[in-house]
Structure 1
C-alpha cells in the first residue's frame, strides 16, 4: 500500500510541477527517484536509475529518434521554403473571412496531416488567423481553440496515415502501422472535426448576438508584419502540396504495396533481434519522410536564403521533444518496476472485463493528462501495459489495429489539461491567457476527442476493425 501511495504522490507532483513550468527532463528522474524512496527501496535507487530508467529512455530514443528528427526537419523546411505559407494563403483565398473559423481549422489540418509540426503550424497560421477573425469580427479569444482543433486533434490521432509521432508510437508494441483501422479513424476524425467546428461556430454566433466583436487587444499593436518566409511565399501551390502528398503516399506505398510482398527472412541471420512484422510500419514512415524532405530541398534549389541554417534549425529542434518524451518513458519504467504498481495495473486492466479497449482508453488518456503530453502518456502506458493489452485483445478476438487506433485517440483526450506545454505555447503565440481562451480549447481538444473515442470503441466492439 505504501508503494502505491508513493506512486500516486509522485504522479501528482509531476503534474503540478509540470504545470508550474519545470522541465520534464529534470522532473522525470526526480519524481521517479521520489517514488523509489517513498516505496522503501532507497538501497536500490542508483541501480534502478542506471538500469531501469536509463535503459527505457535509451531504448525509446533508439526506436523513435529518426521519426522525431525527420519530422522536425520536415516542419522547418516547410516553413522556411514558404510551402506552409503558400498552402495557408490558398485556403484563405478560397474560403475567405466569412468562414474564418473553418478556414483556420482547415489550414492547420492540412499542414499537420502532411507532417508539419504543430508548433510550426501555430506560428505560421496565427498572423493569418488574426487578420481573418478581425475582418469577420469574430472574437480573438476563439483563435487558439481554432488552431488547436486543426492541429491537436483529428490530424494528430485519428486520420489514417498521419505521420504524427503519436500515431507511430504503438507500432513496435502492437506490430501495426500508421494506417491502422482506417475506417474507424476517419469516423473518429469526423466526430472531432465536425463537433469542434459546431462548438466554435456556436460560440461565435452567441458572441455576435451579444455584440461582442474581435475585441480591443493592445498587445497586437506592436506586432511586426509577417515576414516573407525568406522571399518564398509565392511558391507554386503544386510544389507546396507535393511534399505533404509524398509523406502520406510513399508511406502507403511501402506499407501496403512493397513491404507485404517482401521476404525478410534474409535478415534473421544477421539481425535475429528484429521482428519485421513489428518494425516495417516505422520503416515505411522513415522512408516517406526522407523522400519528402529530399523533394522539398531539391524542388527549391537555388531559391533558399540559407538552406544550411534551415536544416540545422530543424535538426536541433527535434532533441528537446524527443528527450522529454523519452524521460517520461524512463519514469514509467521505474514506476512499473515498483511493487505498488501491481495494484494500479490490476485495477486498470480490470476496469472493463471482456473489453480491453475501455481499459486501454482510460489508461492512455489518464497518463496523458498527468504528463500533459499525448506522446508521453501513450509511451508510459504502452511501456508498462502494452503487452498486457495485446494479450487481452488477442484473447477477446480484438485486432491489434483497433487497439492501436483506440490507444492513439485516447491519448489525445486529456493531454490538453491546463499544464500541457502545447497549450501554454499556443496561448503565448496568440498573446492570450487561460482565462480568456482555455474553456474553448478544452471543449474542442478534450470533450469531442473523448466522444470520438467512445464512438470508435462502440463501433469497433460491434463490428470489429475496419
Structure 2
C-alpha cells in the first residue's frame, strides 16, 4: 500500500500541476495522500516533515533566489540584456540567426541572469532576426532553450544557476566542480544542439518554409505569456523568477554600451572564481563549528557563499553603471525581489513533498532499488535525478529531493570507493537538467508561450536540443568519470 500511495500522490501532483493548479496546495496534498496510504500520522507528516524540510530549503537557498531574480531584473531594466543580445545579432547577422540567439542566451545566463528574464528579452529579438533570415519561428524555442537551459545551467564550470548550487552543501563542493568534465559536456550539448537546429533549418529552406505568421502577432505572444496565470503557476516551479514581475517595472529606453552591459556578467564569473579558490580557502572559518553558527563547515556553505558574493558584486556593478538610466530603480528592485518569492516557495513545497515520501517506510525499498541499478553509483545517481526531475517538472526540485533522500548514502559510497564528490556533483546537476524538459515543465511551457509556438510545432526540436544532447553529454561524463575520475 505504501508504494501505491507514492504513485497516487505523484499522479495527483503531476495531473493537476499540468492544469495550472498551485503547487503550494498540491505538494502538501500529494504528500498527505502518500502518508495516508502508509498509515503515517497526517498532521505530523505535514508540520514536522513537510514544513521542516521546506523551511530548511528556504533557509539555505533563498539568498540565491533573491539575488538571482534581483540581478536579472536589474539587467533587464537597465537594457543590459538587450545590449548583449543586440551585439550578438549584429556581429553574427541574419545568416547566423540561430547561432546568434543561442550565444546571446548562453552569455547572459552564464553570467547569472534569470532564465525567464532571458526568455522575455530574447524572444522578441529572436523573432525579428528569424523573420529577417527566413528561419521558421518554430525553431526559435529550441534555439533559446539550447543557449539558456542546457550547458550554462548544468555543465559549465562556475555557473551561478541554482541547480549548480544545490549539490554543494551535500557534497562539500564548489561551483567549479569537475571543470574538465563540465567543459566536455558543454561542448557536446552545444555541438549536438547546433547540428540538429542547422539540419532542421536547411531542411525547412529546401521545402520552401519561411518564418511563418506575421512578426507583429509573434511579438504580442511574449507580452501575453507574462500575464497568463497557468503559465505562471507552471513556470514558478521550474526556475527562480516569477514571470508576472516582468511587467511590474520599466526598461530603459536605451541600453548601455556593450562593454558596460557585459561588465556585470564578467563580475559574476570572476568574483565566483576568486571566492571559491582564493578568498574562502584563506579565511579562518573555524567559528562555523560553534553551535550559534549551525555547527557546520566552510565546505558545506562555501559554495553558496561564493555565488552570493558574486551576485551581490554584480548587482552593485549594474546599479553603479546604470543608476541614472534605469527609469524607476525602486520599482525594479521591488519587482526583482518579489519575483523570487513564489518560485522558492513552490520549489520548497516540492522538496517538502519529497521529504514526506523519503520518510515513508516503503521508501527504503525505493532507495535499495535505486542503489541496485547496474553501472555503479554514478549511473544510479543520474537515474534518480532524471526520474525525480521528470516527475516534478523541476530540475531544482527533483535534484533537491534526490539529494535529500540519497545524498548521505552516496557520500558514504564515495568515501568507501575513493570517488571525488565533485564528480557526483557534476553528474547530479547534468542529470537534473535532462528529462526535466518534458512537456509539463514550466520553463518549456513558458518558452513556447513567449515565442507563440505550440507544443506540436516546436516541442520535438526542444527535445533534441535540450534533452537528447544533455543525455549524450551525461553518458560521456559518466563514462569518462568512471574511467579517469574527476578532472
Could you tell me the TM-score, scaled by structure 2's length? 0.92
Distance between the aligned counterparts of 1:76 and 1:202, measured in 2? 35
**CA 1:123/1:278 → structure 2, altered by over 3 Å: closer, same or farther?**
same
- Find the residue that maps to 2:211 and give its secondary structure: coil
Corresponding residue of 2:89: 92
Corresponding residue of 2:231: none
Corresponding residue of 1:152: 149
Distance between the aligned counterparts of 1:223 and 1:271, measured in 2? 50
Distance between the aligned counterparts of 1:358 and 1:201, measured in 2? 31
- Find the residue that maps to 2:39 and give its secondary structure: coil
Q: Indicate whether 1:396 and 2:421 are aligned.
A: no
**CA 1:218/1:159 → structure 2, altered by over 3 Å: closer, same or farther?**
closer
- 2:289 aligned to 248, 268, 272, which one? 268
Contact 2:395 2:432 in 1 (8 A): yes
CA RMSD in angstroms comes to 1.8
**CA 1:266/1:34 → structure 2, altered by over 3 Å: closer, same or farther?**
closer
- 1:313 aligned to 330, 335, 342, which one? 335
Contact 1:156 1:164 in 2 (8 A): yes
**CA 1:97/1:329 → structure 2, altered by over 3 Å: closer, same or farther?**
same
Q: Indicate whether 1:431 and 2:460 are aligned.
A: no
Distance between the aligned counterparts of 1:167 and 1:128, measured in 2? 28
Corresponding residue of 1:374: 395
Corresponding residue of 1:68: 65
**CA 1:88/1:272 → structure 2, altered by over 3 Å: closer, same or farther?**
closer
Q: Mapping of 1:42-441 within 5 angstroms?
A: 44-217=41-214, 220=217, 223=220, 230-269=251-290, 270-271=292-293, 273-352=295-374, 355-441=376-462
Using the TM superposition, give the Cα deviation of residue 339 of structure 1 relative to its aligned residue in structure 2, in angstroms. Answer: 1.1
Distance between the aligned counterparts of 1:326 and 1:410, measured in 2? 20
Corresponding residue of 1:28: 27
Distance between the aligned counterparts of 1:307 and 1:289, measured in 2? 18
Using the TM superposition, give the Cα deviation of residue 40 of structure 1 relative to its aligned residue in structure 2, in angstroms. Answer: 2.5
Contact 1:28 1:328 in 2 (8 A): yes
Corresponding residue of 2:463: 442
Contact 2:222 2:449 in 1 (8 A): no
Using the TM superposition, give the Cα deviation of residue 21 of structure 1 relative to its aligned residue in structure 2, in angstroms. Answer: 1.8
Unaligned runs of 5+ in 1: none
Using the TM superposition, give the Cα deviation of residue 10 of structure 1 relative to its aligned residue in structure 2, in angstroms. Answer: 1.4
**CA 1:102/1:229 → structure 2, altered by over 3 Å: closer, same or farther?**
farther
- Find the residue that maps to 2:453 and give its secondary structure: coil
**CA 1:319/1:108 → structure 2, altered by over 3 Å: closer, same or farther?**
same
1:108-156: CA deviations, max 9, x gaps?
A: 0001100111100010011111111111111110011111111110000
1:379-408: CA deviations, max 9, x gaps?
A: 111111111111112222211100000000
- Find the residue that maps to 2:284 and give its secondary structure: coil
**CA 1:123/1:222 → structure 2, altered by over 3 Å: closer, same or farther?**
closer
Corresponding residue of 1:5: 4
- Find the residue that maps to 1:161 and give its secondary structure: coil
- Find the residue that maps to 2:309 and give its secondary structure: helix
Unaligned runs of 5+ in 2: 224-246
Using the TM superposition, give the Cα deviation of residue 230 of structure 1 relative to its aligned residue in structure 2, in angstroms. Answer: 3.5
Corresponding residue of 1:463: 484
1:408-436: CA deviations, max 9, x gaps?
A: 00000100101001111111111111111
Distance between the aligned counterparts of 1:374 and 1:268, measured in 2? 31
Using the TM superposition, give the Cα deviation of residue 50 of structure 1 relative to its aligned residue in structure 2, in angstroms. Answer: 0.6
- Find the residue that maps to 2:286 and give its secondary structure: coil
Distance between the aligned counterparts of 2:294 and 2:475, measured in 1? 40
